[in-house]
A and B are shown apart, each in its own frame.
Chain A
Amino acid sequence: MLSRVADALFWMSRYLERADHLARAVDVTFQIDLDLHGVLANPVELEWNALLSLLRQSPPQVREGEHAVAAVQRWLLLDGANPGSVMSCLKRSRNNARSIRGSISPAMWRELNKLHWRLSDTALQAGVAESPHDFCEETQMGVLLFHGVCEATLTHDEGWHFIQLGRYLERAEKVLRILDSRFGLLERSESADLPISNLQWGAVLRNCAAYESYQRLYISRVEPERVVEFLLVNPDFPHSVRFCLSRIMQSLTEISGRLPDRCDDEMVRTVGRLLNDLIYLDGGVLDGAGVHPFLGNALARCARIGHLLQQQYALH
């Protein structure tokens, strides 16, 4: 397939996944913010700033008469001036799709387009000031619907695999970043208040759409070590880093047409090693001081994979 098409499919999917994660994160932060009001003096500082720093964004300008939290929500969800906002990601995804709309199924284009128009609705956007929930849910459902349509209507050939690469690489990075940022936060605060910790680690799970699946597996309170284990190495949960990496490996294999045991290029090698590190993760890493460095290292390797992909397939 055309390199330009492969590139656009990858980014269409990656921006969409980014929008999905951000919408979920804003919604989860909004909910936990309400919960923490009862137990902490300044939850806004803590949670919204944590989210901003996770996204590597500085706090936005607050408009006259605007609540600080509302400003963050507007900035992250709607603001066209923020290239990382949900609307901006969606626009970029749609623009990529539009540039190659002949290479995706008409139903996929239609769903993406419908999502764009739904989220552009002024009433829905105005509602964000009071609660971002409807907007965030609409975003997440739209993304799920798009991928459902993609799964069912697009031939699972090379192009489809580039869509998977964009989706799972973005997801792996986001999950790693969420964990990484939570550990960063913990290292800086002394309070290990149990209910608060429970809420916050619960939020980590919710950020990865993992709360119920976690409960089902462990049937216990939210334990930080288990959360990390679940999100890093669970083989079957679609938002675990290991799951993402094995999907990336599969798609790379299909795209290159190589047998998985012939790891003679750097990209396959990088993905394979990270995947193996997750599969054979040393138990000590999970409950010691080793977690945070491991996460940082994994993030760097994901960035490397993205870079190699661009180099190898997007030849412009």
Chain B
Amino acid sequence: MAPHSTFAERAAGATVSGGLFADYELGAAYDEMFGPQAGAKVMPRPHYQPLAERLRQTSPEDFRRRKAMTDLSMRQDGVGFTVYRAEEGIERVWPMDPVPRIIPAAEWRQIEAGLTQRINAINLFLWDVYHEQHILRDGVVPARLVLQGSSFRREFVGANVPRRIYIHVCGTDLIRAADGEYLVLEDNARTPSGVSYMLQNRQVLKRVFPSLFNDYDVLPNDDYPAALLDVLQYIAPESVPHPTVVLLSPGMYNSAYFEHSFLAQRMGIELVEGRDLFVDGNRVFMRTTRGRQRVDVIYRRIDDDFLDPLTFRADSALGVPGLVNAYRAGTVALANSIGTGIADDKGIYPFVPDMIRYYLKQEPLLNNVETFRPEIPAQLSHVLENLEKLVVKRVNESGGYGMLVGPASTKAQREEFRAAILANPRDFIAQPTIQLSTHPTFVDGRLEGRHLDLRPFVLCGEKVTITPGGLTRVALPKGSLVVNSSQGGGSKDTWILADRTSPSGNGT
């Protein structure tokens, strides 16, 4: 265990001490704001200096007031998500920490290039596995992993998707290792959510702490809905000059309903539920006060399984009977396409860097987290011997479920996983426990380091567009590495700095 020392001690009389930063602890993880600078002294990193200074001048009382304003704003705007407990869905207010996370222009360029490369490779992979399957025949990705994956849609082999794009919206989770390197933790290629919170966090921070923006040139993120609409219109059947685009939501009791209505409103399109749509003669219509109206593009926020009771789960009341056939006939476009789940399957994840080399003939610009596959005998023994150090994940689960976090686990839990891994080694992957980077976060009247990740949103249409920013999620309990909002996570506004900013103070 690395020795902890307070920032004030290590900064040895530096200007930042007391106030909000009283006893700010640095652990073994990479801290976004503070690090050893020239002369090995722990100081704010150059791009954080103006913010650290401003926070130093802010009293805990003032900050507490701004945090309360943040919560009130979110509550009044009805920004929240639903947590299910017993019978009643409980509306939780979206928690945002008013200290922004800052990413300098050069770092962002690197992230952008890495994500672009990744989405391109994954889209090529999806086209390939649903058509000729070269990558499987060349043995780069084990065929069994794909063809027997539970999210591989056999029904869609050979189907043509508009513009050959499978994933139009991807939310890729990035974390930072102890040396500060950005690593890809997972690609969310089904119906990723969170982008509305990215936009809402910016709106609220501008309202409650406008002075923070004075010292920085922050790139706006407001263009996302327009960029998304561009993508959706781009994939419309080509014969339609003015396509009707709708957003298909499971309805107001879905935990991401706020986001669905927010995006529909910002794009100016109808938010529809399954019962608003019907299929007639392989064409999709919506029921309006003036009769039926043709629908050309559906941004669907319903999983494959629930999309069409005729093709997938017959008990789904959320979907539209006949939708899948209409999609196959090309009369309507879907975003994301059907069958993208195989690309973010945890069993496939270790092969994404190989896909990049295979399809693009490039080296990956963003690395994966080192991943062990117990089905390989040599790795099985390593995994079993190191269960208390590793994070073990089931390949078909997501959202923080079905996981063993070694360092935080009990002996009984480890034994349970040991048995499960031995029984079905293919169903698991294991990764070293990464101490996600920390960031000053307002807790109990002062700032403390809390672990966080970053989910940028990648759009793929005529070109790849990545809105500057992303959703930064924070694990609020001390030492916790679980950032999911359903499990008590918070969030931060995420600032990408414009290129001209030179916060190091070397300015012209």
Interface on A for B, CB 8 Å cutoff? 1-6, 95, 98-103, 106, 109-110, 113-114, 117, 158, 255, 313, 315-316
A2-B78 contact, Cβ under 8 Å, with A99-B252, A100-B271, A102-B262: no
Q: What is the distance, in angstroms, from A230's C-beta to the closest C-beta of chain B?
A: 35
Complex CA–CA separation, A101 to B271 (angstroms) = 9
Q: Is B503 an interface residue (CB 8 A)?
A: no
Q: Is B264 an interface residue (CB 8 A)?
A: yes
Partner among A100, A102, A117, A315 whose Cβ is within 8 Å of the Cβ of B287: A315
Question: In the complex, what residue of chain B is closest to A255 when comparing beta carbons?
Answer: B289
Inter-chain contact A98/B78, CB cutoff 8 Å? yes
Inter-chain contact B275/A113, CB cutoff 8 Å? no
Q: Is B251 an interface residue (CB 8 A)?
A: yes
Q: Is B344 an interface residue (CB 8 A)?
A: no
Contact residues, B223-252 vs A (CB, 8 A): 251-252
Residues from chain B with a CB closer than 8 A to the CB of A99 are 251-252
Inter-chain contact A101/B288, CB cutoff 8 Å? no
Interface on B for A, CB 8 Å cutoff? 75-78, 251-252, 257, 260-262, 264-265, 270-273, 275-276, 286-289
Q: What is the distance, in angstroms, from B228's C-beta to the closest C-beta of chain A?
A: 14
Query: What are 23 A-B pairs with beta-carbon distances under 8 A?
Result: A2-B272, A2-B287, A3-B288, A4-B275, A4-B276, A6-B289, A98-B78, A98-B257, A98-B261, A99-B251, A102-B260, A103-B265, A103-B271, A106-B77, A109-B77, A110-B76, A110-B77, A113-B75, A113-B77, A113-B78, A158-B289, A255-B289, A316-B275
Inter-chain contact B75/A117, CB cutoff 8 Å? yes
Residues from chain A with a CB closer than 8 A to the CB of B75 are 113, 117
A114-B76 contact, Cβ under 8 Å, with A3-B287, A106-B265: yes
Most buried by A among B78, B260, B286, B287: B78
Most buried by B among A4, A6, A255: A4
Question: In the complex, what residue of chain B is closest to A99 when comparing beta carbons?
Answer: B252
Inter-chain contact A109/B78, CB cutoff 8 Å? yes
Partner among B76, B271, B275 whose Cβ is within 8 Å of the Cβ of A102: B271
Partner among A2, A98, A106, A158 whose Cβ is within 8 Å of the Cβ of B270: A2
Q: What is the distance, in angstroms, from B208's C-beta to the closest C-beta of chain A?
A: 16
Residues from chain A with a CB closer than 8 A to the CB of B261 are 98, 100-102
Inter-chain contact A3/B289, CB cutoff 8 Å? yes
Complex CA–CA separation, A2 to B76 (angstroms) = 27
Complex CA–CA separation, A17 to B410 (angstroms) = 57
Partner among A98, A100, A113 whose Cβ is within 8 Å of the Cβ of B76: A113
Residues from chain B with a CB closer than 8 A to the CB of A110 are 76-78
Residues from chain A with a CB closer than 8 A to the CB of B272 are 2
Residues from chain A with a CB closer than 8 A to the CB of B271 are 100, 102-103
Most buried by A among B252, B275, B286: B252
Partner among B252, B262, B286, B288 whose Cβ is within 8 Å of the Cβ of A98: B252
Inter-chain contact B289/A102, CB cutoff 8 Å? no
Residues from chain B with a CB closer than 8 A to the CB of A2 are 270, 272, 276, 286-289
Q: What is the distance, in angstroms, from A98's C-beta to the closest C-beta of chain B?
A: 5
Q: What is the distance, in angstroms, from B83's C-beta to the closest C-beta of chain A?
A: 16
Q: What is the distance, in angstroms, from B399's C-beta to the closest C-beta of chain A?
A: 24
Question: In the complex, what residue of chain B is closest to A96 when comparing beta carbons?
Answer: B252
Q: What is the distance, in angstroms, from B248's C-beta to the closest C-beta of chain A?
A: 12
Inter-chain contact A4/B273, CB cutoff 8 Å? yes
Residues from chain B with a CB closer than 8 A to the CB of A316 are 275, 287
Question: In the complex, what residue of chain B is closest to A5 when comparing beta carbons?
Answer: B270
Complex CA–CA separation, A98 to B261 (angstroms) = 9
Complex CA–CA separation, A100 to B247 (angstroms) = 12
Q: What is the distance, in angstroms, from B261's C-beta to the closest C-beta of chain A?
A: 4
Q: What is the distance, in angstroms, from B73's C-beta to the closest C-beta of chain A?
A: 10
Residues from chain A with a CB closer than 8 A to the CB of B286 are 2
Inter-chain contact A95/B273, CB cutoff 8 Å? no
Question: In the complex, what residue of chain B is closest to A7 when comparing beta carbons?
Answer: B289
Most buried by B among A2, A106, A158: A2
Complex CA–CA separation, A60 to B271 (angstroms) = 41
Residues from chain A with a CB closer than 8 A to the CB of B257 are 98
Residues from chain A with a CB closer than 8 A to the CB of B287 are 2-4, 315-316
Beyond the given pairs A99-B252, A102-B262, 10 more chain A to chain B contacts, judged by CB atoms under 8 angstroms and listed by A's residue number, are A1-B270, A2-B270, A4-B276, A4-B287, A98-B257, A102-B261, A106-B77, A106-B265, A110-B78, A316-B287
Q: What is the distance, in angstroms, from B253's C-beta to the closest C-beta of chain A?
A: 9
Q: What is the distance, in angstroms, from A57's C-beta to the closest C-beta of chain B?
A: 25
Inter-chain contact A102/B265, CB cutoff 8 Å? yes
Complex CA–CA separation, A212 to B212 (angstroms) = 51
Question: In the complex, what residue of chain A is closest to B76 when comparing beta carbons?
Answer: A114
A102-B252 contact, Cβ under 8 Å, with A2-B286, A113-B76: no
Complex CA–CA separation, A255 to B262 (angstroms) = 26
Q: What is the distance, in angstroms, from A267's C-beta to the closest C-beta of chain B?
A: 13
Complex CA–CA separation, A106 to B73 (angstroms) = 13
Residues from chain B with a CB closer than 8 A to the CB of A4 are 273, 275-276, 287
Complex CA–CA separation, A113 to B287 (angstroms) = 28
Q: What is the distance, in angstroms, from A76's C-beta to the closest C-beta of chain B?
A: 24
Residues from chain A with a CB closer than 8 A to the CB of B77 are 106, 109-110, 113
Inter-chain contact B289/A313, CB cutoff 8 Å? yes
Inter-chain contact A101/B289, CB cutoff 8 Å? no
Inter-chain contact B289/A1, CB cutoff 8 Å? yes
Q: What is the distance, in angstroms, from B454's C-beta to the closest C-beta of chain A?
A: 27
Q: What is the distance, in angstroms, from A280's C-beta to the closest C-beta of chain B?
A: 32
Inter-chain contact B264/A102, CB cutoff 8 Å? yes
Residues from chain A with a CB closer than 8 A to the CB of B78 are 98, 101, 109-110, 113
Residues from chain A with a CB closer than 8 A to the CB of B262 are 102
Question: In the complex, what residue of chain A is closest to B75 when comparing beta carbons?
Answer: A117
Inter-chain contact A117/B265, CB cutoff 8 Å? no
Residues from chain B with a CB closer than 8 A to the CB of A1 are 270, 288-289
Residues from chain B with a CB closer than 8 A to the CB of A103 are 265, 271
Residues from chain B with a CB closer than 8 A to the CB of A113 are 75-78
Q: What is the distance, in angstroms, from A155's C-beta to the closest C-beta of chain B?
A: 11
Complex CA–CA separation, A117 to B138 (angstroms) = 61
A95-B276 contact, Cβ under 8 Å, with A2-B286, A3-B289, A117-B76: no
Question: In the complex, what residue of chain B is closest to A6 when comparing beta carbons?
Answer: B289
Residues from chain B with a CB closer than 8 A to the CB of A114 are 76
Residues from chain B with a CB closer than 8 A to the CB of A101 are 78, 261, 265
Q: What is the distance, in angstroms, from A108's C-beta to the closest C-beta of chain B?
A: 11
Q: What is the distance, in angstroms, from A232's C-beta to the closest C-beta of chain B?
A: 31
Complex CA–CA separation, A269 to B4 (angstroms) = 81
Question: In the complex, what residue of chain B is closest to A315 when comparing beta carbons?
Answer: B287
Q: What is the distance, in angstroms, from A157's C-beta to the closest C-beta of chain B?
A: 11
Complex CA–CA separation, A315 to B273 (angstroms) = 15
Question: In the complex, what residue of chain B is closest to A116 when comparing beta carbons?
Answer: B78
Shortest beta-carbon contacts, A-B, top 4: A102-B265, A102-B264, A102-B261, A101-B261
Complex CA–CA separation, A7 to B506 (angstroms) = 61
Residues from chain A with a CB closer than 8 A to the CB of B270 are 1-2, 5, 102
